Amino acid sequence: MSDLTKSFDSVLNGVVDGNPRVPGVVAMVTDRKGNIYEGAAGVRDLSTNAPMTTDSVFAIFSTTKAITGTCVLQCVEEGLLDLDAPAKNYAPALGKLQVLDGFDDAGNPITRAPKRDVTTRMLMLHTAGFGYDFFNAQYNRLAEDHGQPSVITASRGSIETPLLFDPGDQWEYGTNIDWAGQVVEGVRGKRLGEVMKDHVFDPLGMSDIGFVMNPSMASRRATIHLRGQDGSLDPQTDLVLTQEPEVDMGGHGLYSTVGEYMKFIRMWLNDGDGANGRVLKKETVAMAVKNGLKDHQKVVALPGVIPWLSNEAEFFPGLKKSWSFTFMVNDEQAPTGRPANSIGWAGLANLYYWIDQKNGIGGFWATQILPFADASSFGGYIDFESTAYKQPALVG
């Protein structure tokens, strides 16, 4: 076993043996040519003790977003989509949405027309005005008191929500990329899952991925576990994203193995070139990884409004971050060693990835734990990424 493998394995074994522990984890690192580390530790499900394996299937939640963003960029390349045109031209339901201006004395929402149209650029940058009920108290109130459906339902009602502010006024992380997926559907005339298969998955040779799991994927699914306040873990064997989605949720709906996602990461490391052909033009990739926010649009910490779903979360507190199409950009070198202007993001059940184009490496860390920003899993991920930057073979 190589020293590199031993170093990464020790991180994975440490989190599954720790206290509080992580039930199971799969993690991989790739360079531009292929995976240079693949590891699995622990179990898929604490109620069955089925072992975690590198081909385990995960609900990848918001790591879905970058794939949807890629589909948007392809539409732009083909001249089918104008990022700065009103997005309602492609997804008409967007034109009916109002801005939430608080609640009246009876607790009913007060709404008004937005001052400007939502554009697809705003959707890609999370500046259109949409949020999530687990990160925003206003949306949580709409859910609790007025029946706004959870995005987990994959329903039209879950995204046809009021805007939290006038489009373009600020940055707020939310259902923007679900709407970007609706824009893609309007442009292509197909469901988002079909578009992803035709334009991303097939060109990259990705098969163990989709909004709906095939029987083989379902048999390898890792169970989501809830972390108790005492550090305990409760397997939620029935907590499965709907397999009959009304909407293909471009913001969170995919299931995948880590190995399949690594093919997508490699495409970004290779300036848009995939295993079976080019997915994006080199100049599109260069544009897509740069900060797209204006000075008044700041990336902020995510508050944990629904404690069982998310803790308060922020990558690299104190360091400047920005947003691109559709990644977080660390504008300064991260404590892990990740260089400035790298990209990455995360998924609600404690999945994390990074893409470092400068050094030509990227990685993905997958667990299935709620709430988000779990100290044991996130801490393990930070150790994992830091370990990569201590390997001379990877970063010279």
Q: Flag whether 138 is in a domain.
A: no
Q: How far apart are the first and last CA of the chain?
A: 21
pLDDT bin (cut points 50, 70, 90) of residue 161 is: very high
> Considering the domain boundaries, does residue 180 fall inside one?
no
What are the tokens at 330? Answer: 């660390």
State the pLDDT at residue 245.
Answer: 97
Give the active site residue among 90, 132, 139, 173.
Answer: 173
Asked, for residue 363, whether it belongs to a domain, the answer is yes
Q: Is residue 85 part of a domain?
A: no
pTM of the model as a whole = 0.98
What percentage of residues in the chain have a pLDDT greater than 90? 97
Report the half-sphere exposure of 253 (CA within 13 A, side-chain side): 29
Exactly one of 56, 62, 342, 377 is catalytic; name it. Answer: 62
pLDDT at residue 276, as a whole number: 87
Rounded to 5 degrees, φ, ψ at 393 are -65, -20
* 361 belongs to a structural domain: yes
Domains of the chain: total: 1
The reply to whether 60 falls in a domain is yes
Structural domain boundaries enclosing 223: 3-73+187-395
Residue 149, in any domain of the structure: no
Length of the chain in terms of residues written: 396
Task: Assign residue 18 the CATH number of its domain.
Answer: 3.40.710.10
For the segment 89-98, what is each residue's pLDDT rounded down to a tens digit?
999 999 999 9
- Of 56, 65, 158, 324, which is the active-site residue? 65
Asked whether residue 195 carries a pLDDT value surpassing 80, the answer given is yes
65 is catalytic: yes
132 is catalytic: no
In tens, the pLDDT along 310-333 reads 999 999 999 999 999 999 999 999
Q: Domain for residue 360, yes or no?
A: yes
Instruction: Provide the pLDDT for residue 1.
Output: 64
Contact present, 186 and 245 (Cβ < 8 Å): no
Q: Let me know if 62 is a catalytic residue.
A: yes
